[in-house]
Amino acid sequence: MYRKTVLGLLLIINSTLIGDLQTIPPVSVINNNATTTYNVQVQCTGLEWLGGLVNNLAARLQDLNSTKIKAGLLDWSKEHKKLIVGTTTAAIYLLTMHKLTQAKLIFNNPNAWSNWKPDYTFSDLIKINTHLLNRELYNSILTKYNNNDKSDSITPIALFSTDLEQELRALSHFVRITYWLKKARVNKLFFVSDDDITQAHTKINLLIYLRKIMTESLQISLS
């Protein structure tokens, strides 16, 4: 049905265009120059017809009553209020769950930098000599990212920084979202516990600390 409709419209446009071209008064062919002039006139007439068609359609679109359109949309939204509210709520819930799940995947990822040295609490970790801790961190970075190329120390550091920032961003989103969920007392609907929130805060502190000691180490090595 759709194909027949399109073909019908094309035939109407085609026949109209041909009809317009056939009504052009004939030009006396005196020489080759006159023939060239005749061809240009035909082409210009076709373009003018197409331009007129576009302008006509634009004029008809402008004639549409915007008030009626707005009223129609308003009526539709009133009739489908439950559908709109339900769809919006579902979309917000799924988006929120996606953000929370990203952080929870980090919780359970033993290779995440926020889980570095799991046998140490954050309080114990910051008591370790910074120089020694930095050396251990640097060795862990080389082990994780170095492809048996001992001479390349820049790439592993760059990859470490990228992964650390991604974890920090995901965990920060988790903390901000859960703050409002808990304030609205709906955190249980999103399967978020107080322990999850505390854990996220601890991991953020660890990531910030690791970034700090690595930055300070690089600054010292460059000075």
The pLDDT tens digits along the chain (223 residues) read: 434 333 333 333 344 333 433 333 443 334 444 444 334 333 344 445 555 655 665 565 555 555 666 666 677 777 777 887 788 888 888 988 998 999 999 999 999 999 999 999 999 999 999 889 999 999 999 889 876 666 777 889 999 999 999 999 999 999 999 999 999 888 888 999 999 999 999 999 999 999 999 988 887 766 6
According to DSSP H, which parts of 1-129 are helical?
2-22, 32-62, 66-79, 81-107, 122-125
Q: Which domain holds residue 17?
A: 2-62
- Residue 103 sits in the same domain as residue 213: yes
- Domain annotation covers residue 185: yes
> Do 101 and 165 belong together in one domain?
yes
Do both 83 and 153 map to the same domain? yes
Residues with Cβ within 8 Å of residue 138, at least 6 apart in sequence: 214, 217
CA distances from 16 to 7, 23, 30, 126 (A): 14, 11, 30, 83
Tell if the pTM clears 0.85, that is, is over it. Answer: no
Domain stops at, among 32, 62, 92: 62
Q: CB burial class (10 A; 0-12, 13-18, 19+) of residue 202?
A: middle
- Residues 40, 105 share a domain: no
Residues 52 and 142 in one domain: no
CA distances in angstroms from 65 to 69, 72, 217, listed in the order given: 7, 11, 68
